[in-house]
Amino acid sequence: MKRKIKVGTRDSKLAMIQTYMVIDSIKEKHPEIEIEIVALKTTGDKILDRSLDKIGGKGLFVKELDEALINGEVDFTVHSFKDMPMEINEELPIVALSKRADYRDVYILPKGEVNEAAPIGSGSKRRVLQLKELFPGKAFAPIRGNVITRLEKLDRGEYSALVLAAAGIKRLGLEERINKFFEVEEILPSACQGIIAVQGRKGEEYDYLKEFDCAESHIVAAAERGFVKELDGGCSAPIAAFATVEGDEVLLKGMYVNEEEVEIIKQDIKGTSKQAEELGIELARRIKRC
């Protein structure tokens, strides 16, 4: 008799693709496991007329999934790690992280003629503050909805361009829509951008996820999230962090914005992989002292 597990996910196309990436990894090594998807619409997916900081932050994208996990309706849930809140319920630990995909942000123009009078669309303060240095004098406006919805708004002429995460565009098979990749020297990405997180229940076994799990992603996530947490970075906070691993050494780049003075502060720090979280905390403390 096959073992059956249930996987919880948001019901967007991108969320489904990412969930199937986890499922395919399990099936490759564990064909004896039967997997059922439980798709849920989160509060963050339902409320699209207000910015996230006005309605409760990133937690609104995980609330219903957390409840399903706590109630035993699903065995684990799948998330874009960059969209998860910094504070994670100890009863619902992260049990696996994907290998990091393309971490960069990308610039996307509409199909057909560009409405130059329209703003650049971005729902992220982190992106907008860095974009203002690249596009002085250009107007920016918030945009909500899944990737497909945003692209439709762009193509209708509501925006002159969009800035989105490369990983999501590539996973959706829409790489041909990308007009430019922003390197980290231009736009520092969101913490854990490009990493898929699997969340489970404390005390349960998840051995079937070990082939999906990436040790390096745990190191960079510890550094990046350590930095953001120390700066009390919520959904709307203009904070960015990006770590790379070279052998046993970690290089962490961090960005913080003093909103009172509209000053962007960028610094970096190096250390060993065992110090990853401590490096994030130390870099945050250094920046606070600036």
The catalytic residue positions are: 83
Residue 175 DSSP label: G
Query: Which residues, in sequence order, are bridge partners of residue 96?
Result: 198
Kindly provide the b/e burial profile for residues 41-65, where b requires at least 16 CB atoms within 10 angstroms of the residue's own CB.
ebebbeeeeebbeebbbbbbbbebb
- Residue 5's φ and ψ, nearest 5 degrees, are -130, 150
In residues, how long is the chain? Answer: 290
Provide φ and ψ at 178, rounded to 5°: -80, 125
Q: Which residues pair with 252 in a beta bridge?
A: 243, 269
Q: Which residues contact 260 (CB under 8 A, 6 or more apart)?
A: none
Which amino acid is present at 280?
A: G
- CB atoms under 10 Å from CB of 232, counted, come to 10
